[in-house]
Structures are given as C-alpha cells and as structure tokens.
Amino acid sequence: MRLVKRIPWTEFESMILPTSDTAAPIALVICSRDRAARLKRCLECLPQEELRELNAEVVVVDNGSRDETPEVLQRFHRAMAFPLNVVKEKRAGLGYARNRGLDSCHAPIVAFTDDDCYLGPSYLPMAIGAFSSNEFQYCGGRILRYDLTDSTIGCNSDTHRRIIPPGSFMTSGKIHGANMLVHRSVFSHIGGFDPAFGAGTRFRCEDIDLVARASMAGFTGAHIPELVVYHHHGRKPGPETRRLERDNDYACGAYYAKFIMNGHYNFFVGWLKLAIRPWRLRGLYWEARGALDYLRWRRSRPVLESRLTDHG
C-alpha cells in the first residue's frame, strides 16, 4: 500500500490571495455541451454584481456543442457586466472540457459548477473566506434541488462541516463536480482531470477521481455546507433516474479499479465494505462491470496510443 504524506499548507499559503489589486482571487468554470437552454438559465442567474466586485474570472467551455450554445454565449459575452471568457474544447468529455477551463484562467482558487446549477447567496466571497482558513486545499459544499419535485440524485444536503484527511477513501458523491473548489497548487502537483473520465465518456467520474488523487497526494479536503448551489437537473424519480444511477455505479467501478491498479489498496478495502451491504447488490453488479471494462480499456490503451502515433 502506498504511504500518503500530508502536504503542509505553508507551502502554498502565499498563493491564497491575488498577487496584486487587479488579480482575480477566484475563477468560476462552467462546461456545457448541447444544452443551450439550461446554460442560458445558468448564465442569467450568475451574481453579476458579486463577480464584478470580486474581479472574479468566469470561464465557459463549449464542449463541441451542435445546438444554439455558440449563439447563447455570443449574446451573453456582449451583455455581461463582467468579463466572460468563452473557450472551445472540441474533444467530447467533461474531463477534457474542465481541463480547458482550468488552462484558461489564472486565479489561485478554481470553482467548478454545472450548466444546470445556480450559485447560492454570497457563494464566491464565502469560498474565498473558507480557503483563507488554511485548513484544506480542496472542498465541496451542499447541492440542493432547485425544483423540489426533482429526484435527489446528484445532490448533497449534508449540513455538517467536515475535514477530509489526506489518504482518505473517497466515496462517490462525497464531493461533486457541480460544487467543487480546488486550489491551483493541487493541480500543480497532480495535473488536471483524467480525460478518460467524465460525462461524454464511458465513465462519468472525473470529479471524484480528481479529489481522490488530491487526497492520495497528501492534500486535505473539506465539506463546507455554507457553500450552496441549486441543481436544476429536471430529472424526476423513475426510469431516467434509475438509468443515471446505473451509469454512476458503472463509472464508480472504473474509478475504484483505477486506484487499486495504481497501488492504493485502501480503495479495495473501502469498496469491499460498501459491497457487503445487502441493498448494494444491484449497484455492485454495475460497479463490477465498470471495473472490468476499465481494465480492458486500460490494457488496450498502449495499443491505441501506438496506432495514433503510427498514423501521425
């Protein structure tokens, strides 16, 4: 088993605040693909006054949309009371898109949310204040339903503040990409999101993979309940929700397999503890399938990469 050494915050303390009066203290990254109507509502609900006062960076990544997304972004780019940086990432996959957004901003704190989410009151100032405590280098917060008739899938209503020690086994949903903040120093050590993961790929787990890598690298995380986003996903309880739960379980299996294969055997122990619960049988089936498919994909990856090299 790999030993995890805690990285002291003092190494990165100087990066918490902007280096000048004009530097942005925080960046907000939103990625979207073929969801123009939802993205429009998301942008309309951005706290423009708050963003302008903070001099925050806002980056929207168009992940190869084929609908009206470019037109929506063009209109908002002209109308917003703060600079809106619109970038494109043609390669499908939320891992690719989030990396493009990360590369397109410079603030020390990077906040990620989804195109069907709305930030809660004072979200960005509270995020800056939370990171200034020097207790952690990445965090998540509550994700509440905007429409109370929607399913609770993808939500997190935990009201208890929690510190996540380095080396922790990260269960799915502990920190969700709809409400995730990461200090740039983390990316400097572990790199960006794994492009093999994320919506638009076979395994929709780029968010939990990233924070688990941060934890295994020695960084401390947190759940900060004051940081709230409202999720307007529109999914009602029923077949659609069950399909998404199946897809999430399948991706979790790939995520667990990746870490076990990389020598983090605490993930095997953690997975086993979850698996022995009787109500987890259906989920365990899809996790096992995801793990096996990930291992097959991982074995074929060098062959695929050599073929790409051979063909230029």
pLDDT reading at 70 higher than 80: yes
Give the percent of the chain with pLDDT over 70: 89
Q: Residue 123 has what pLDDT?
A: 98
Q: Residue 310 has what pLDDT?
A: 33
Three-class HEC string of 63-114: CCCCCCHHHHHHHHHHHCCCCEEEEECCCCCHHHHHHHHHHCCCCCEEEEEE
| Nearest-angstrom CA–CA distance, 1 and 13 | 30
Give the percent of the chain with pLDDT over 90: 80
* 299 or 60, which is more confident: 60
Within 10 angstroms of residue 28's Cβ, the number of other Cβ atoms is 27
Q: Residue 156 has what pLDDT?
A: 96
Q: Domain 9-231 adopts which CATH fold? A: Spore Coat Polysaccharide Biosynthesis Protein SpsA; Chain A (3.90.550)
> What are φ and ψ of residue 235, in 5° steps?
-90, 125
Distances (CA, A) of 109 to 63, 78, 116, 123: 22, 26, 22, 13
Kindly state the average pLDDT of the residues 211-217. 97
pLDDT in tens, 127-169: 999 999 999 999 999 999 999 999 999 999 999 999 999 999 9
pLDDT reading at 306 higher than 50: no
> What are φ and ψ of residue 161, in 5° steps?
-75, 130
pLDDT in tens, 215-235: 999 999 999 999 999 999 999
pLDDT reading at 21 higher than 80: no
Q: Residue 44 has what pLDDT?
A: 95
Output the average pLDDT for the chain.
89
pLDDT in tens, 230-253: 999 999 999 999 999 999 999 999
Domain residue spans in the chain? 9-231, 239-301
H-assigned helices in 136-265: 184-190, 206-216, 239-261
Question: What is the longest distance spanned by two Cα atoms in the chain?
Answer: 56
pLDDT in tens, 266-299: 999 998 888 777 667 778 999 999 999 999 999 8
pLDDT in tens, 176-210: 999 999 999 999 999 999 999 999 999 999 999 99
Q: Residue 214 has what pLDDT?
A: 98
Q: Residue 20 has what pLDDT?
A: 47
User: Dihedral (C-alpha) 30, 120, 224, 27: value to the nearest 10 degrees?
Assistant: 30
